[in-house]
Amino acid sequence: MNILDELKWRGAINQETDHEGLTDLVNKQSAGIYVGIDPTGDSMHIGHLIPFMILKRFQLAGHHPVIVIGGGTGSIGDPSGKKSERVLQSMDKVRSNERKLTAQMEKLFGQDGKFEIVNNYTWLSKLSLLDFLRDYGKLFNINTMLNKEIVASRLEVGISFTEFTYQILQAIDFLHLYRHNDVQIQLGGADQWGNITSGIDLIHKMEGQEAKVFGLTIPLLLKADGTKFGKSEGGNVWLDPEKTTPYEFYQFWINQDDHDVVKYLKYFTFLDKDEIDELAEKVATHPEKREAQRKLAEELTEFVHGKQAVKQAEHISEALFSGDVAELTTNEIEQGFKNMPSVDVSSDPLNIVEWLADVTKIEKSRRQAREDITNGAIRINGERIEDVNFEINPANKFDGKFVIVRRGKKKYFLARVK
């Protein structure tokens, strides 16, 4: 199947400006296709990842991806679906975010020259106010702009002229890329339809109706319960490993619901139809094995963080399940125990009863501590301790940074040595 048929099977097409023309283009030549992202933050999260996964599919199908980092548009802010104006960032912050997003894109798309990353500040910053109004503003009808969904949704509470003009700037981006980077297609989320069609209209007005340019949007991704996809209980799931560790990233995917996992395999992996159909059958017949979730977690974690991160995440998961935490590295402890109950302790050695009851408060009393120790319910750094005279020395394990306590079968605590 061609790339459009594949995207349709994956449920990844929402709107197209001209299906027949777009099909003819992608079947006959290597097309230039772009996705933009504004540097409003210093990392993408998995919600941002959706259009870039589709862009990656075009790359693998032999087309030419162009990624636009919106250093220009990001300095003013687009009119989001929220009922308030974006807070403008300093240009230093915008530049810092640009560098970090560029590094993430290079990791996702490879460094083999088969893609481009450009910054729209390069051309938008050269526009004078008079040039903007004379060359472009004259070609945009206010009534048409007001009817664009993203603008119309803000009219009741108000929208600044700055955010109102965002669609003109994005249209200029498409025109520039058509002229200078051989781009014929703009890809975006469902909320970008109005901006994409504005760009196509501008190109047709300036280059002629025969200009072959197209727009393609992706549906809003919803979970089976109707809620928006993309967040965990702790908030956004980031691509930056400092914000969301590779282990947390892996766990997010492996914990997906049976009702959602096949949809996510289609959206977020490069597995073919036969492989996904086989996993779908396993979800239907043996959901308790969670093979589809495991494959989803492996594929996404490898794509974003690399093969070693997958091995590490699996190692952490196995250690926590079995209780064999002694085999974990210090880095793995930092990832696996990031959100577990923790307490700060000194590096001084101390009797286990006092340490559990008086220092860490893991046990509510010394009596309870003694009882749990003698009953074999306490493990320190993976080792069962049944001697109430045992001395805990924080320097003995994990580079002297951590002491791991497990009480009972599943309850873990992390002591951070200060």
What is the reported pLDDT for 111?
61
Strands 116-119 and 64-69: parallel
How far, in Å, CA of 217 to CA of 188, rounded?
Answer: 5
At 337, give phi and psi (nearest 5°). Answer: -110, 15
231 is in an annotated binding site: yes
What is the reported pLDDT for 2?
87
289 is in an annotated binding site: no
How many Cβ atoms are within 10 Å of 365's Cβ, its own excluded?
Answer: 12
What is the reported pLDDT for 3?
93
How many Cβ atoms are within 10 Å of 146's Cβ, its own excluded?
Answer: 12
Q: Are 417 and 343 in contact (CB under 8 A)?
A: no
178 is in an annotated binding site: no
Q: Are 160 and 206 in contact (CB under 8 A)?
A: no
Element (H, E) at 383: strand 383-384
CATH architecture of 3-218: 3-Layer(aba) Sandwich (3.40)
pTM of the model: 0.85
- pLDDT tens string, the chain, 418 residues long: the values are 789 999 999 999 999 999 999 999 999 889 999 999 999 889 999 988 999 999 999 999 999 999 999 999 988 877 665 566 667 788 899 999 999 999 999 999 986 668 999 999 999 999 999 999 999 999 998 888 887 777 777 777 777 888 888 889 999 999 999 999 999 999 999 888 989 999 999 999 999 999 999 999 999 888 888 887 876 666 889 999 999 999 999 999 999 999 999 999 999 999 999 999 999 999 999 999 999 999 999 999 999 999 999 999 999 999 888 888 988 999 999 999 888 889 999 999 999 999 999 999 999 999 999 999 999 999 999 999 999 999 999 998 999 999 999 999 878 999 999 8
DSSP 174-240: HHHHHHHS---EEEEEGGGHHHHHHHHHHHHHHH-TT---EEEEEPPPB-TTSPBSSEETTEE-BSS
What is the reported pLDDT for 114?
84
- Would you kindly state where each structural domain of the chain is located, as residue ranges? 3-218, 231-322, 342-417
What is the reported pLDDT for 75?
84
What is the reported pLDDT for 354?
95
What is the reported pLDDT for 149?
73
What is the four-CA torsion angle of 51, 52, 57, 60, rounded to 10 degrees?
160
Give the position of tokens 């559990």.
Answer: 356
Q: Which CATH code is given to the segment(s) 342-417? A: 3.10.290.10
Do the domains spanning 3-218 and 231-322 agree at the CATH topology level?
no
Question: How far is the CA of 378 from the CAs of 316, 327, 347, 372, 412, in angstroms?
Answer: 20, 18, 20, 6, 10
Give the position of tokens 């540097």.
Answer: 39
293 is in an annotated binding site: no
The answer regarding whether domain 231-322 maps to CATH 1.10.240.10 reads: yes
Among left, alpha and beta (phi > 0; psi -120 to 50; other), residue 398 is left
What is the reported pLDDT for 82?
59
